[in-house]
Amino acid sequence: MSSNPTHKSLSKRVKDIKLNSLLGITKAINNNFSTPQLLEIFQEVLEKQLYIGKLVLFSNENGWKCILKYGIGDEYNDIHVERDLLSITEIGAIHFSQKRLSKAFEIVIPVFHKTHPLAYVLIGDLEDKVDVSPAIKHLPFVQTLTSIIVVAIENKKLAKDAVRQATMQKELELASEMQSMLFPSTLPHDSKLDCAALYLPHQQVGGDYYDFIWLNENECAFCVADVSGKGVAAALLMSNFQANLRILFNHTTSLTDLVRELNAKVMANAKGEKFITLFIAKYNMVTRTLTYVNAAHNPPLLAIGNSVSALKIGCTGLGMFDEIEKIKEGIVNITPGTRIICYTDGLTELENEKGEDFGIDALKEIIKKNEHLNMMELNALIMKTLEKYKQRRPYIDDIALFSLKAF
C-alpha cells in the first residue's frame, strides 16, 4: 500500500522549513544579529511556519525577565520563575496540578548550562490545526531551536561582559599609571639624607600616598596618608589631595595652616563620606629640627640607636569635622643616624593564618635589629618579613612605607 502523496509532500515541506530555519538562524548568529533580531526570527519560525500559537521565553539576565511573548495576554504575569519553574530540569508536559501554567501552556522547555538554568520556554496553541498539537508534534525541533537561540543570546551577553571587563581593566591600568605618577620619581640618597619608599595597592589602584618635597635647599617636607576605603574612589580622592597639598606648600610652610586648609579641601571633596589620616613633617638640615603634625595617622617610628618611639602629636583626621579646632605641632631634634619609618595600617594590620595582626611591636623589632641597613634594604626586609608572616593569607589593604635616615 503506497503512502499518501499529500502526507509526503507536507512532511517534506515541514522538513524544509526546519532545515531552512536552522540555516537562517545560524547565518544570523554568524552575522552578529542583535538579540531582538534573533528573537524576531525565532518567533517567525515558531508562530508563522510551525503554527505554535503561544510562547513565553524567560531569560536569566541579572534576574529572570520575559524577553519574548506572543499569543498570550496577561496570564504570563502570574508566572514566577523561582516559584513555578526552577524545580523543572527536563523538557516535559505541563500537568493539571501546575495550575498557573496549565491554563495557557502545554510544554515547558528548560535550557541549562551544566547545572545553571539559562532560560525557560513555555509553549502552547491557540487552536489545533492538525490532529496532534504543533507544540508536541515539533517538540524536538523546538527544543533544538530554543537551545541555539538561548545559547546565542547568552554568548552575546558574555561577549558584551568581556568587552566591558576589558574596558574596565584598561581604565584601571590607566588609573594605576596615573597614580604612580603622583609618587616622587626620585628620593634623596646622599651624604645628608637617605630616603626610600614603596607602595603596594590592594587592588590596581588604592588610597595610600607618600610624598617628598624640597621646600628650599636646606629644608624638605615628607608625608604619608591613607584614605578610608579602597579602590578607584579612594585613589581619586587621594590624587586630588596630593594636588592640593603641593599647591598649598607654595603658599605656606606652616604645618598648622596647611592642615587646616587640607581639612577644608577634603570636606568639600568627600562631603563627609570619606576621611584621610595624614602624617606630615618638615625637616631643616641646618638646624636639624623636625616639625610634624600627625592627623590621626598610624604614628611613625623614630629610631635613635636602639631606642624607638612614636610620633603621635597632632590632631583629628582630615574630613572628619568641618573645622579642626586644635592642632599641635611636634618638634624633634634629629641627631646623625636618626631614622624615621612611616607606614599605613595595611602593614601593621596584616594578618597571618591564625588571624593575628603583624603589629607595631614586630615592626619595632625589625627596626631595632637592623640599624646598619640603608633605607631601601630596611624596607625590603620589612616586606620580606611581612610576606613570610602572612603565609597564604592575602594582603587585605593597601600598604605604603616611607623611610628616612638623616646623617
pLDDT per position as a tens digit, 208-231: 889 999 999 999 999 999 998 777
Rounded Cα gap, residues 210 and 214, in angstroms: 14
Reply yes or no on whether the pLDDT at 128 is more than 50. no
Q: Give the predicted TM-score (pTM) of the model.
A: 0.63
Mean pLDDT of the chain: 86
Q: What is the pLDDT of residues 355-380, one digit of tens each?
A: 999 999 999 999 999 999 999 999 99
**What pLDDT sits at residue 137?**
65
Instruction: Based on the fold, state whether residues 157 and 203 are members of the same structural domain.
Output: no
pLDDT value of residue 10: 57
Taking only Cα atoms into account, the Rg of the chain, rounded to an integer number of angstroms, comes to: 34
- Rounded to an integer, the average pLDDT of 103-108 is 80
For residue 29 the three cell numbers come to: 548568529
pLDDT digits (tens, 9 = 90+) for 162-178: 777 776 667 566 666 66
Q: Is residue 17 part of a domain?
A: yes
pLDDT band at 257 (very low <50, low <70, confident <90, very high): very high
Q: Please check whether residues 34 and 101 belong to one and the same domain.
A: yes
Which segments of 66-221 does DSSP mark as H helices, in order? 81-84, 99-102, 134-137, 139-180
pLDDT of residue 126: 44
Given a cut of 70, whether residue 97 has pLDDT beyond it is no
pLDDT of residue 364: 97
- Are both 296 and 229 inside the same structural domain? yes
CATH number at residue 110: 3.30.450.40
Q: Which residue has the higher pLDDT, 98 or 218?
A: 218
Look up the CATH number of the domain holding residue 307: 3.60.40.10
For residues 125 and 241, membership in a common domain is answered with: no
Q: Binning pLDDT at 50, 70 and 90, where does residue 345 land?
A: very high
Note whether residue 139 is domain-resident: yes
- The dihedral region occupied by 293, where left means phi > 0, alpha psi between -120 and 50, and beta the remainder, is beta
Beta strand 314-315 pairing with 289-295: parallel
The boundaries of the domain holding residue 392 are: 182-406
CB 155 within 8 A of CB 32: no
pLDDT (tens digit per residue) in 78-95:
788 888 888 888 888 776
Q: In sequence order, which residues have a C-beta less than 8 Å from that of residue 147 and are 6 or more positions away?
A: 111
33 and 70 share one domain: yes
- Is the pLDDT higher at 82 or at 7? 82
Note the pLDDT of residue 319: 95
Mean pLDDT, range 155-159, rounded to an integer: 81
